[in-house]
Amino acid sequence: MGRGYMAPLTSLSFGSSGIVGRSLRRAQPQMCRTEGAREVLGIVYPPLPRWANLCRAYGAGGAGSIRKGAGETPALPKPGDWAGFQQSQTAPRLWSKIWLASAVVALSGVVACGASNAPSSESSGSSNPSAPAASSAGQSAGAPKLAEVAPPADHTGGFDGAKAYEHVAKLVSFGPRPPASDGIHRSQEYIIAQLKADGCELDQDDFHASTPKGDIAMKNIIAKAPGTGQGIILLLTHYDTLSSVANFVGAEDSASSTGMMIEMARQLCAKKGPNSVWMAFLDGEEAFVNWDQDDDHTYGSRELAARMAVSGELKRVKAVILADMIGQYNLKILRQSDSPKWLNDLVWKTAGRLGYQDIFVSDSTQTSDDHDPFLARGVPALDIIDLNDYITAGYWHTPQDTMDKVSPRSVAIVAYVILESVDELQKKFH
C-alpha cells in the first residue's frame, strides 16, 4: 500500500454492497428485542444484549451535550488545552488525589498509589504474579477508582504496561481524534514515530470514505513484523474518536487499545515467527450520524479488508484479533458468539492458563465492530472488548471517557493474553 492513495470506489463499496450490511443485520435478533436500536448522544446504535439488563442503561448519558449537524462541531482547542481531560471533569483532581491517598492508607500494602498520572510497575509481593491484584475488588461501576498499577514487564511476557499507559495518556493529550481532525493528525504522527522507532515495517493507507458528512480523508497505519512463511496474523485497533460528542477524548474508546498496540509493536516487530504479524491502527470506526444506517461505521476496517482481498493478502490471514475498550477497571471480556469457536477457545484457554479467567469470563455476547468486515469475508476474527460495563457506568461515548477510567493493569493483562495468543496461533499455523 502506498502513500497518498485515494481508495477506489470498489474498495469501500465492498462494504456497502451487501456483505457487511448483512453481517450487521444478522446479529440483531440476539440483541434486546424489546428496546430495539437506541440513540445515545445523537448517534443511533444497534440494540445491546440482554444479559446484563443493559437495555435501560443504554439510554443513559444525558442529552445535554448532543451536538448535531454539520457546522455544530465545536472548534478544537489547542493541544495543551486537553490536559485537563486526562482526568474526569466531574472529579476534580485535588479531591481525587485526596481520595486516592485515603484509599492507599486504608488498603496499605494492597494498592501501590503513585502521585504521577502514569503509574509504574507494582510491587505487590503476590506469590502469583499473574493473579489479579486485590486492588480492583469491590469497585462498582461509577464508584471512584483506586489506582492500579501495571505489573512488572517480566510478569506480563515482557509487555511494559506503564509505558503503554503513557502512550494512552499521550493520545488523550492530543484532544478529540475524529477523522480528519487536528487531534487525529497528531495521533497519526505519534503512532508512526513510535512504530518507526521500534523498527516496524510500515504501510500508510491514505484513503477517502464517503460518509453522511461527506467525503472524509482517513488513514490506516499498518505495522508489519515479517514471518518466515506466507501466513498473516492480523491484530486490529481503531484510534479515531466519535465526532458527534463535544470534548470526547476517548481514553478507553479508543486510546487504551491503541496505546496497548503501540507498546505491543515494540515486542512483535523485534520477533520473527512462522507467520507475519500485522498490527493495523484503523481510522473511521465510529459512526458520524447513525451506526445502524447506510454502513456509517468501520470505514477503516472495511477499507483494509477490501484492499487485502484485492491484493490477495486476505487469503493468507490465519486469524484476526481486534482489541477495543480493554483498559477498564473491573474488566470483563465476553466471548463473541459470531466468531469461530476455535478462536474464542484459543484466546480464552490462554487467558485461563495465565490466571485471568475472572477477566475473560465464559459468557458470550455479540458486538458489531471492526472485526465484522473480516468475518463477512470468511476470515476468522474475534473482538476483545468490554463495552457493556462502560455503558452501564455511563461513560461510553461521553466526555467522561477520561484517563481516570483506564487501568494500566487491565491494559497490560489484555496485552499479555493477546501476545501469548499470538504465540499459540504461531504454533497452530507453523
Interface with Zn ion (CB under 5 A): 253
With CB cut-offs between 5 and 8 Å by kind, which of ligand 1BN, Zn ion, none does residue 408 bind? Answer: none
Q: How far is the CB of 39 from ligand 1BN (least distance, A)?
A: 12
Cβ atoms within 10 Å of 64's Cβ, excluding its own: 6
State the Cα–Cα distance between residues 428 and 350, nearest whole angstrom.
13
Segment 310 to 339, residues that bind ligand 1BN, using CB under 6 A: 324-325
Cβ closer to ligand 1BN: 155 or 297? 297
Q: Which stretch binds ligand 1BN (CB under 6 A): 49-57, 193-201, 347-355, 365-373?
A: 365-373
Q: How far is CA 195 from CA 263, 266, 372, 416, in A?
A: 9, 7, 26, 19
Q: How many residues does the chain have?
A: 430
Q: How far is the CB of 187 from ligand 1BN (least distance, A)?
A: 16
Cβ closer to ligand 1BN: 118 or 321? 321
With CB cut-offs between 5 and 8 Å by kind, which of ligand 1BN, Zn ion, none does residue 367 bind? Answer: ligand 1BN
Which helix (H) or strand (E) element contains residue 43? strand 43-45
Joined grid coordinates for residue 153: 514487564
With CB cut-offs between 5 and 8 Å by kind, which of ligand 1BN, Zn ion, none does residue 387 bind? Answer: ligand 1BN
Q: Which stretch binds ligand 1BN (CB under 6 A): 28-36, 142-150, 326-334, 367-375?
A: 367-375
State the Cα–Cα distance between residues 12 and 6, nearest whole angstrom.
11
Residues 401, 348, 323, 343, Cα dihedral to 10°: -150
Q: How far is the CB of 325 from Zn ion (least distance, A)?
A: 8
Q: How far is CA 76 from CA 81, 245, 277, in A?
A: 9, 12, 36
- Find, among 358, 353, 339, the residue nearest to 417 by Cα: 353
Q: What angle do CA 124, 167, 77 make, to 5 degrees?
A: 130
Segment 16 to 55, residues that bind ligand 1BN, using CB under 6 A: 45-46
User: Does the footprint of ligand 1BN cover residue 369 (CB under 6 A)?
Assistant: yes
Sheet holding 232-238, edge to edge: 201-211, 214-225, 276-282, 232-238, 317-324, 381-385
With CB cut-offs between 5 and 8 Å by kind, which of ligand 1BN, Zn ion, none does residue 392 bind? Answer: none
Cβ closer to ligand 1BN: 24 or 134? 24
Q: Say if residues 370 and 381 touch (Cβ distance below 8 Å).
A: no
With CB cut-offs between 5 and 8 Å by kind, which of ligand 1BN, Zn ion, none does residue 356 bind? Answer: none
Cβ closer to ligand 1BN: 82 or 291? 291
Q: What SS3 state is found at 277?
A: strand
Total number of residues binding ligand 1BN (CB under 6 A)?
11
Angle between helices 161-173 and 182-197 (to 10 degrees): 150
Q: Which stretch binds ligand 1BN (CB under 6 A): 51-59, 194-202, 366-374, 406-414?
A: 366-374
With CB cut-offs between 5 and 8 Å by kind, which of Zn ion, ligand 1BN, none does residue 198 bind? Answer: none
Segment 274 to 303, residues that bind ligand 1BN, using CB under 6 A: 286, 291
The one-character DSSP state at 290 is: B
Phi then psi dihedrals of residue 230, to 5 deg: -90, -20
User: Does the footprint of ligand 1BN cover residue 100 (CB under 6 A)?
Assistant: no
Instruction: Please give the residue whose beta carbon sits closest to Zn ion in the complex.
Output: 253
Joined grid coordinates for residue 313: 493478502
With CB cut-offs between 5 and 8 Å by kind, which of ligand 1BN, Zn ion, none does residue 264 bind? Answer: none
- Find, among 61, 62, 83, 65, the residue nearest to 74 by Cα: 65
Q: How far is the CB of 53 from ligand 1BN (least distance, A)?
A: 17
User: Does the footprint of ligand 1BN cover residue 368 (CB under 6 A)?
Assistant: yes
Q: Provide DSSP, 145-205.
A: PPP--PPPGGGTTT--HHHHHHHHHHHHHT----TTSHHHHHHHHHHHHHHHHTT-EEEEE
Binding mask 244-263 for ligand 1BN (x = CB under 6 A): ---------x----------
Q: How far is the CB of 41 from Zn ion (least distance, A)?
A: 11
Q: How far is the CB of 165 from ligand 1BN (least distance, A)?
A: 20
Q: Say if residues 371 and 301 touch (Cβ distance below 8 Å).
A: yes
State the Cα–Cα distance between residues 235 and 281, nearest whole angstrom.
9
With CB cut-offs between 5 and 8 Å by kind, which of ligand 1BN, Zn ion, none does residue 233 bind? Answer: none
User: Does the footprint of ligand 1BN cover residue 7 (CB under 6 A)?
Assistant: no
Cβ closer to ligand 1BN: 155 or 213? 213
Q: Say if residues 54 and 388 touch (Cβ distance below 8 Å).
A: yes
Segment 109 to 168, residues that bind ligand 1BN, using CB under 6 A: none
Which residues of this chain interact with ligand 1BN, rule CB under 6 A? Answer: 45-46, 253, 286, 291, 324-325, 367-369, 387
